[in-house]
């Protein structure tokens, strides 16, 4: 608003805006996701969103430099950080980012991994606690969340009976 002459274009490879706010926050964190409503106000006559555009495939850096005075690359977190230890790529090993993207129905996340009856979670940070909370909740506790009913059904039918945490 300070610079009424400024126009902003947001390109994203996803069809919807807000990246990790939409796909990287636990689906039952409605307070955090309320920020989306606040940010939606940013998209006005001077700001536009263009989805389904992948840099390097649909659009090049050269295209951007030719069309815009300033290019900001805000690439976000598109993948999990591997631990770099033997076995970290075996079946049944799932990164927290992929898990979170799956429960938030990210279009490129694929199917929700089978959770199984016994789960061990490596890590003790905020995202780890979000996942423990999601796996421990009863179905009625998801009322008002963004969790898709099919995902909820799958978590309940395959959900854990025991969760261990390694910190």
**What is the number of domains present in the chain?**
2
Q: Give SS3 for 147.
A: coil
Q: Residue 56: inside a domain, yes or no?
A: yes
pLDDT at position 2 is 65
pLDDT at position 102 is 87
Is residue 113 within 8 A of residue 94, CB to CB? The reply is yes
Q: Residue 127: inside a domain, yes or no?
A: yes
Residues 63, 102: one domain?
Answer: no
Q: Is the pLDDT of residue 117 over 80?
A: yes
Q: At 67, is the pLDDT very low, low, confident or very high (cuts 50, 70, 90)?
A: very high
Q: Residue 90: inside a domain, yes or no?
A: no
Residues 57, 112: one domain?
Answer: no
pLDDT at position 42 is 67
Structure token pair of residue 98: 């992929």
- Supply the pTM of this predicted model: 0.66
Q: What is the mean pLDDT of the chain?
A: 82
Q: Residue 75: inside a domain, yes or no?
A: no
Q: Is the CA virtual torsion 98, 99, 100, 105 positive or negative?
A: positive
Q: How far is CA 126 from CA 54, 109, 123, 155, in A?
A: 30, 21, 9, 20
Residues 56, 104: one domain?
Answer: no
Q: Give SS3 for 11.
A: strand
Q: Is the pLDDT of residue 22 over 70?
A: yes
Quote the domain boundaries for residue 29: 8-67
Is residue 152 within 8 A of residue 115, CB to CB? The reply is no
Q: Residue 16: inside a domain, yes or no?
A: yes
Q: Residue 87: inside a domain, yes or no?
A: no
Let me know if 37 is exposed, middle or buried by CB neighbors in 10 A (0-12, 13-18, 19+): exposed
Structure token pair of residue 45: 């006559």
């Amino acid at each position: 608003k300070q610079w009424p002459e400024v126009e902003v274009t947001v390109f994203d490879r996803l069809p919807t805006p807000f990246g990790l706010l939409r796909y990287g926050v636990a689906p039952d964190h409605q307070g955090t996701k309320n920020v989306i409503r606040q940010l939606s106000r940013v998209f006005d006559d001077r700001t536009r969103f263009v989805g389904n555009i992948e840099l390097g495939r649909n659009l090049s850096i050269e295209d951007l430099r030719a069309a815009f005075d300033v290019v900001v690359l805000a690439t976000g977190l598109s993948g999990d950080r591997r631990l770099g230890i033997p076995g970290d790529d075996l079946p049944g090993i799932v990164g927290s980012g992929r898990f979170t993207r799956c429960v938030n129905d990210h279009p490129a996340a694929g199917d929700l991994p089978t959770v199984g009856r016994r789960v061990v979670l490596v890590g003790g940070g905020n995202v780890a606690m979000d996942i423990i909370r999601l796996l421990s909740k009863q179905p009625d506790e998801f009322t008002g969340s963004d969790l898709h009913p099919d995902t909820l059904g799958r978590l309940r039918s395959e959900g854990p009976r025991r969760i261990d945490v390694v910190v």
